[in-house]
Structure 1
Amino acid sequence: MDDLQLLREMRSDVGSAPPAALARGRKSLMSRISHSSPKEAQPTLRPIRLRRRLLFASAAAALIAGGVVVADVVRPGAPGATADAAEVLNNAAAVTIRTTDPVLAPGQYLKIETKELTASGAQTSDGDQVNWQETTGGQVYIPANRDEEWVWHREPRVPVESASAKAKALAAEMAATMQRMPEGQPPVVGIVRAKGGAFYGNDPVAIIGTPLKDANELPKDPRALLDVIYERTKGAGKNPGSEAFVTIADGLRTGVVPAGLRAALYKAAALIPGVTLSDRRATIDGRTGTAIGIPSPDGAERTEIIIDPESGLVIGEQSVLLKDYPGSPAGTVVGWTSVRTSVVDSAP
């Protein structure tokens, strides 16, 4: 699928993001360019991103301590996921255990390719709020020896074809600002290289608080693993279950978490109250899988992971409105990320 076709499909299939959904992403604004100087940040533009936590180059993850005090965990008291959702998740875990992780020969790379549709916006100097949707993508190349240099090709953020002229102008201004990185700092668009995957100075993590290199040290017992996640996300949101589910989704969609931990994460998700099966034939970026999700604390949208039942891999993630908004009825997909994993012989 070429870029133009992708944009056209987004224009016809996805409505504009509502202000309420955009506002929820305000706090995570510009997390990927946190190394730019304060003077170079936009004084009159206030960009907004509807984005989930990122496991590559996540500054927040680097600040989380690894210790766990299980006695202090806030564990929801209700039963776990619905029966049909738990069945899908436990089946995915079983398939994952039977599936061998890719084995790379020297010189080969594990390629993790993502495409995204996100909500964005900016407030102009005269106070006008302009919202739009935009696409982006990227490819991470992970060497056979993970201590060696990783390569991240970061694509620019492009407003969808249906965005207004004003939105496109603001997006261009934001993009220009993002390019003005301090001398010696890696770019936010283009090729970024980092030994061991430590992009922007932060090691890649398996789940929040645990570096990828220590993934096998996490408990494989689903309840114990979920307790760890509850502890590390305590106070991050109004609903511990929702925060835990998003954390699990973040780990699963990286494509680099070892099979044993992936299986445990699926089983842990099956223990979270409020997790439901939302669509047995959900399509994202041309591929079809089973969607499992949980509502946001305010009931406005549902975060879903889409699982390929044949491989046990997460092939994408999306946010779906649960309430009607002007121009965006309930059921509208307001943002999505697709993930494809392959083995290649070279990197840029």
Structure 2
Amino acid sequence: MDELTLLRGMRNDIGSAPATTLARNRRKVMATVGAAPTAPTEIPGQPAGTTVRPFMIRRRLVLASAAAVFLVGVMVAADVVLPSHPGATAEAVEVLDDAAAATLKTSNPLVSPGQYLKIETLELTGSSFVGDDGRQLSWQETTAAQIYVPADLEGEWVWNREDRFPIDSASPEAKAAAAMLRDSRRTEGPGLIVGIHRAPGGAFYGQAQTILGSPLTDTSELPRDPQKLLDHIYDFTKGQGKTPDLRAFGAIAESLRTGVVPADLRASLFQAAALIPGVVVADRQATIGGREGIAVGITTPDGSNRNDLLFDPSTGLMIGERWVLLVDVPDTSAGTVTEWSSVRTSVVDSAP
């Protein structure tokens, strides 16, 4: 990485270092190159006490030379931790790199012939219904599912899709509407929604299982280099979502949520997420599905919501995903988790 790229990676949410720190470290550097120390110099684009929300900001740097700029960076680095690239915050880079390392150290679940990898999901989502009178009812509801993946990925997969049920706090009208919708979802034959599904290779509804456009049975063509992988994700998701960064982050979460991504690719996905501008550590003690982990997230362009990915730092396994409201809206306060999904994997001897 060249010096100019390094300096562009400096974030505006880090204030200027104290004058004493600048003076002390500048003396060290100048002594090394044989120059006499001068008065402390303010860092361009870093006014003292300035803090902003963690997103990338373009800044003009008036530089005498790339070498001079690099020396200023060295002086500050002794006391201020800076990210090494223009991506996630330094804290997020650290936890995501740790997750990648933990992933490579954790053995994948051993699924022997005749056994299955069981992937259990539980979700909280929103639903709505418009009646004949034009009145719209909205409520939150939960649903669960279990997917059984055979040792031979091309063998028969089993998917048990459970129905959706409104949460206890839903209104009586909403519960009645939800019950009507449940009846309509209980269909027979190829159109079956709720119930047991079976498909060779997991091709449910005729759709083959893929990860970022590559067949799940062969992910060797997906790059393992984090930057190349992220470039591929941007290309794969082009034109989707509110912003390229938000959609790329979502695609990474969706891939990890499958529970069947090879360990080396999972590690690269964590490192690719660390390259996305705006990714932050949202909560180091986040709880979902009865388990605790670290949540990293990215905020929507309007600042109203944040998409979080939750993982177990000891294993690097994803344990869930959530959407958090960041502003007050009618009947809902900031900080409310509006949607979430938990993921749990285990090895079992049989499938339904």
What is the TM-score of this pair, normalised by structure 1?
0.75
| Offset at residue 77 of structure 1 (A) | 8.9
Matched, 1:172 2:172: no
Match of 1:101 in 2: 108
> Which residue number corresponds to residue 289 of structure 1?
293
Q: Tell me whether 1:124 sits opposite 2:131 in the alignment.
A: yes
One-letter amino acid matched to 2:150: P
Q: What is the distance in 2 between the residues matched to 1:303 and 1:173? A: 31
Deviation at 1:144, TM superposition (A): 0.7
Structure 1 residues 109, 77: closer, same or farther in 2, change over 3 A? farther
- For structure 1, the residue ranges without an aligned partner over 5 or more in a row are 1-75
Gap regions ≥5 residues in structure 2? 1-55, 59-85
Say which of 195, 198, 201 aligns to 2:206.
201
Return closer, same or farther for 1:201/1:307 CA change in 2, 3 Å cut-off.
Answer: same
Paired residue secondary structure (2:258)? coil
Q: Using the TM superposition, give the Cα deviation of residue 291 of structure 1 relative to its aligned residue in structure 2, in angstroms.
A: 0.3
Mapped pair 1:265 → 2:269 = yes
Cα distance, 1:124 vs. partner? 1.5
Aligned equivalents of 2:146 and 2:200: distance in 1?
Answer: 16
Cα distance between partner residues in 2 of 1:172 and 1:249: 31
User: Which amino acid in 1 is paired with 2:99?
Assistant: A
Match of 2:312 among 304, 308, 315: 308
Q: Which of 214, 218, 222 is equivalent to 2:222?
A: 218
* In 1, Cα distance between equivalents of 2:57 and 2:224: 22
Judged with a 3 Å threshold, the aligned counterparts in structure 2 of structure 1 residues 256 and 77 are, in CA distance, closer, same or farther, namely farther
Which has the higher relative contact order, 1 or 2, with Cα contacts under 8 A spaced 6 or more apart?
A: 1
Name the residue aligned to 1:229: 233
Contact 2:187–2:193 under 8 Å retained in 1: no
Q: Which residue of 2 aligns with 1:345?
A: 349
Q: Deviation above 6 Å: which 4+ runs of structure 1?
A: none
- Contact kept, 8 Å, 1:216 with 1:261, in 2: the verdict is no
**Cα contact 1:300–1:323 (8 A) shared by 2:** yes
The alpha-carbon deviation at position 308 of structure 1 amounts to 0.3
Give the match for residue 50 of structure 1. Answer: none
1:238 aligns with 2:242: yes
How many pairs align?
A: 270
The question of 1:325 aligning with 2:329 is answered: yes
The superposition leaves residues 129-179 of structure 1 with CA deviations (integer Å, 9 ceiling, x where unpaired) of 110000101110001111111001111000111111111111112122222
Tell me, yes or no, if the aligned pair for 1:282 and 1:291 is still in contact at 8 Å. yes
| Structure 1 contact 302–322 (Cα < 8 Å) conserved | yes
**d(CA) in 1 for partners of 2:186, 2:203:** 20
- The range that moved more, 333-342 or 229-238, is 229-238
Give the partner amino acid of 1:117.
Answer: L
| Matched letter for residue 298 of structure 2 | I
Q: Which amino acid aligns with 1:199?
A: F
Aligned residue for 1:256, secondary structure, equals coil
CA RMSD of aligned residues (A): 1.4
- Shift in alpha-carbon separation, 1:132–1:250, aligned structure 2, 3 A: same
**1:40-72 CA distance string (max 9 Å, x none):** xxxxxxxxxxxxxxxxxxxxxxxxxxxxxxxxx
Partners of 1:250 and 1:346 in 2: CA distance: 26
- Tell me the SS of whatever aligns to 2:218: helix
Whole-angstrom distance in 2 between the partners of 1:221 and 1:125 = 54
Q: String of CA shifts for 1:61-102, please: whole Å, max 9, x gaps.
A: xxxxxxxxxxxxxxx997100000111111100111111211
In structure 2, how many angstroms separate the alpha carbons of the residues matched to 1:249 and 1:297?
A: 19
Native 8 Å contact 2:160 2:197 kept in 1 = yes
- Which residue matches 2:258? 254
8 Å CA contact 2:242–2:300 kept in 1: the answer is: no
Which one has a bigger Cα radius of gyration?
2
Secondary structure class of the residue paired with 2:107: coil
Q: TM-score, normalised by structure 2?
A: 0.75
Checking the alignment, whether the CA contact within 8 Å between 2:154 and 2:217 is kept in structure 1 is no
CA contact under 8 A between 2:145 and 2:160: conserved in structure 1? yes
Report what 1:185 is aligned to.
Answer: 190
User: What percentage of aligned pairs have identical amino acids?
Assistant: 57
